[in-house]
Amino acid sequence: MNNVAIIGPGAVGSTIAFDLRDASLNVKLLGRRNETLHYYSNNALDTKYQLDVCALNEYHETVDFLFITVKIPQLDTVLTSYQHLLHKNTIIILAQNGHGQLHKFDHPYVYQAVVYISGQKTGNTITHYRDHKLILDQNAHTQALHQCISNSSLNIELTTDIDNAIWYKLLVNLAINSVTALTRSTASVLEVPGIKKLCEQLLLEGINIAKAEHVHFEPNIVNTILNIYDGYPAEMGTSMYYDIVDGRSLEIDGIQGYLFYKARKHHLNTPILDTIYHLLLAQQK
Amino acid sequence: MNNVAIIGPGAVGSTIAFDLRDASLNVKLLGRRNETLHYYSNNALDTKYQLDVCALNEYHETVDFLFITVKIPQLDTVLTSYQHLLHKNTIIILAQNGHGQLHKFDHPYVYQAVVYISGQKTGNTITHYRDHKLILDQNAHTQALHQCISNSSLNIELTTDIDNAIWYKLLVNLAINSVTALTRSTASVLEVPGIKKLCEQLLLEGINIAKAEHVHFEPNIVNTILNIYDGYPAEMGTSMYYDIVDGRSLEIDGIQGYLFYKARKHHLNTPILDTIYHLLLAQQK
């Protein structure tokens, strides 16, 4: 039986742990301390589950598959304290928003997942809203993982164009996270005159950066993303909105900052991104 | 003896009323309600003065000179309730930050003052920090005012290029108000990497708009303004910073919004201003 560990008992990590219960795997959810979480799956508030979290520094098995699901601001801390979980063939899945963090690993088998799992953690209660999907590069390692979890409700989708999947999610996050965080508003901010236009302009800058990185999108991608935004409930907050309102660190290094430095590398003119990035950077904890 | 009224018992209005005490004028400070304010002049906290405020709707004299010192978001309300103070030769001085509000008056003699008076109101206590200066267009009306107040500590400076004085103050306000408000930080935000550069780029857009309005500045004006910012104490908040943090209406109509619409009129490309204006607009109360 394969050993699987998940570092990061937030909404994403808890959902992966919960979804893998039924697979024939030895699954451990790891965090800063031993604790028990309450978990609601698929927004069904009538059934409360318990999830046990084990302290990372008290778990001494090595694992075959390791999911790291902490947000970017916590990644550096995890990277100083997780080596004891690894054997030489451990496969690591980095399941977090944003991009540009893989170079921080010195382990050979690390893959960026594009995460489509939505939920929220409040205190020690996690409410999973919807989706169970991770998109990964298709290769021998991820196929092995796919095989192992095939009996579970976690949906791993393998793609031959992971860059496209990563950049698509990056762009979707870029505009809505920026405007909600900087205005400290939920998705209702899209109704303010000029804000949708601002999203559009910011997305155009992002698509230009993607192109310079050889990631090409259809011309109507901007409309596709704006249509996704139109489908958001007005009261929906984004991850970066909740982080700024609650005074937590922001994931800007992997989203706006990642794009800002790529734009500099390619000598692109991105005045809106530059403005937004620095206004957020000034509020980084 | 000339009748003078000041509408707006904030830091600017109270200082004008206080400074005019010694002139041979009949001076009234008007506000929403009858009240008594505590007033400290020139940051001398050892001497507390009292200033009486009379309710605007209970004062029935007409006045020769009327200072309107409310902030832009309150101006529309004042304009619906101040007509009883006017006779046909009343001279109105609009002493507030920003520009673009004069068209709202149907009275013939209204002049925009550029205000250099700094202070703060907390509850019913006003602390005047420094400066007593209003800059006005030089004409027969403002010369008459200048004559009347010559025995007071209010300093009225007349200029033959009021547009330049207005736009200069507008530009000084533009960048520092925008970055402090949007990052909810005091002037310490200028130390964050990229923020001074952002101010510089925003000022360049502003100078371009001024130019299209036939207001020309020396090429080194940007450095002059950035040097002014460098002189600010790190803990200094701006007017717009205090407004956004305290949940009050923002003066954007007369600063960022005024410039935004001028830029559209002249078909100028101002991506940073556009971004900043809409991010502030979304937080307007």
Q: Collapse the DSSP code of A132 into the 3-class scheme (helix H, G, I; strand E, B; otherwise coil) and give the result.
A: strand
Residues from A contacting B (CB-CB < 8 Å) are 179, 182-185, 189, 192-195, 197-198, 201, 271-272, 274-279, 281-283
- Does residue B168 sit in the same domain as residue B266? yes
The answer to whether residues A118 and A98 belong to one domain is: yes
Over residues A260-266, mean pLDDT? 98
Q: Which residues of A touch B208 (CB under 8 A)?
A: none
- The amino acid at residue A136 is L
The verdict on B44 and B134 lying in the same domain is yes
Residue of B nearest to A257 (CA): B194
- Separation in Å, CA A135 to CA A228, B24, B28: 19, 80, 71
pLDDT digits (tens, 9 = 90+) for B57-111: 999 999 999 999 999 999 999 999 999 999 999 999 999 988 999 999 999 999 9
pLDDT at A64 over 90: yes
* Closest by Cβ to A272, choosing from B182, B193, B271: B271
Q: Which of A179, A194, A271 has the CB atom closest to B272's CB atom?
A: A271
Residues of B in contact with A271 (CB under 8 A): 201, 271-272, 275
My answer on whether A72 and A98 are in the same domain is yes
Domain interval for residue A258: 163-283
The residue among B136, B160, B184 that closes a domain is: B160
Same domain, A123 and A174: no
pLDDT, one tens digit per residue, over A186-197 is 999 999 999 999
Give tens-digit pLDDT for A3-24. Answer: 999 999 999 999 999 999 988 8
Q: Which of B144, B160, B176 corresponds to the end of one domain?
A: B160
Cβ B279–A179 below 8 Å, yes or no? Answer: yes
Q: Are A99 and A74 in contact (CB under 8 A)?
A: no
Question: Region A198-207: what's the mean pLDDT?
Answer: 98
Could you tell me the pTM of the whole model? Answer: 0.90
The residue whose two tokens read 């920003």 is B98
In total, chain B counts a number of residues equal to 285
Distances (CA, A) of B211 to B203, B205, B262, B268: 12, 10, 11, 11
Q: Which of B279, B280, B283, B284 to substitute to test the interface with A, most A CBs within 10 Å?
A: B279
Residues A137 and A191 in one domain: no
Where residue A149 sits, what CATH number does that domain have? 3.40.50.720
The model's confidence at residue A175, banded by pLDDT at 50, 70 and 90, is very high
- Do residues A56 and A197 share a domain? no
Asked whether the beta carbons of residue A282 and residue B197 sit closer than 8 angstroms, the reply is no
- Residue B42 CA to residue A87 CA, distance in Å, equals 71
| Chain B: residue whose CA lies nearest to A196 | B278
**pLDDT reading at A183 higher than 90:** yes
Query: B283 to chain A, minimum CA–CA distance in Å?
Result: 6
Q: Is A58 exposed, middle or buried (0-12, 13-18, 19+ CB in 10 A)?
A: exposed
Q: What is the mean pLDDT of residues B11-36?
A: 95
Based on the fold, state whether residues B135 and B167 are members of the same structural domain: no
Do B123 and B224 lie in one domain? The reply is no
Q: Which two tokens stand for residue B284?
A: 């307007």
pLDDT recorded at residue A33:
96
Residue A203 has pLDDT above 90, yes or no: yes
Q: What is the dihedral of CA B275, B276, B278, B282, to 10 degrees?
A: 130
Residues of B within 8 A of A197 (CB-CB) are 278
Per-residue tokens: B85: 């103070």
A183 in the same domain as A130? no
* Chain B partners within 8 Å of A277 (Cβ): 194
With tokens 């600063």, the residue in question is B255
Structure tokens at A174: 């870029």
Mean of the per-residue pLDDT values for chain A? 96
B24 pLDDT band, cuts 50/70/90, is: confident
For residue B94, what is the DSSP state? E
B22 has a pLDDT exceeding 90: no
User: Which string of b and e fits A158-173 if b means at least 16 CB within 10 Å?
Assistant: eeeebbbbbbbbbbbb
Q: Is the pLDDT of residue B6 over 90?
A: yes
Tell me the pLDDT tens digit for each residue of B34-57.
999 999 999 999 999 999 999 999
- Angle at B276 (CA atoms; ends B218, B271), nearest 5 degrees: 65
Mean pLDDT (whole number) for B239-265: 95
Cβ(A126)–Cβ(A39) below 8 Å = yes
Bridge-partner residues for B163, per DSSP? none
DSSP per-residue codes, B139-162 = SHHHHHHHHHTTTSS-EEEEES-H
Average pLDDT for residues B251-267, to the nearest whole number? 97
Please say which residue of B110, B134, B160 terminates a domain.
B160
Q: Which helix (H) or strand (E) holds B40?
A: strand B35-40
Cβ-count burial B259-275 (b if 16+ within 10 Å, e if not): bbebbeeeeeebbbbbb
Phi (first) and psi of residue A125, to 5 degrees:
-115, 130
pLDDT value for B23: 82
> At A223, which CATH number?
1.10.1040.10
CB pairs under 8 A between A and B: 72
The ipTM assigned to this model is 0.88
User: pLDDT band for position B198 (50/70/90)?
Assistant: very high
- For B159-179, the pLDDT digits (tens) are 999 999 999 999 999 999 999
Count of structural domains, chain A: 2
Same domain flag for A36 and A71: yes
Residues A77 and A103 in one domain: yes
For every residue of B192-211, DSSP letters joined together read STTHHHHHHHHHHHHHHHHH
In this predicted structure, what is the pLDDT of residue A112? Answer: 97
Q: How far is CA A142 from CA A96, B61, B77, in A?
A: 17, 84, 65
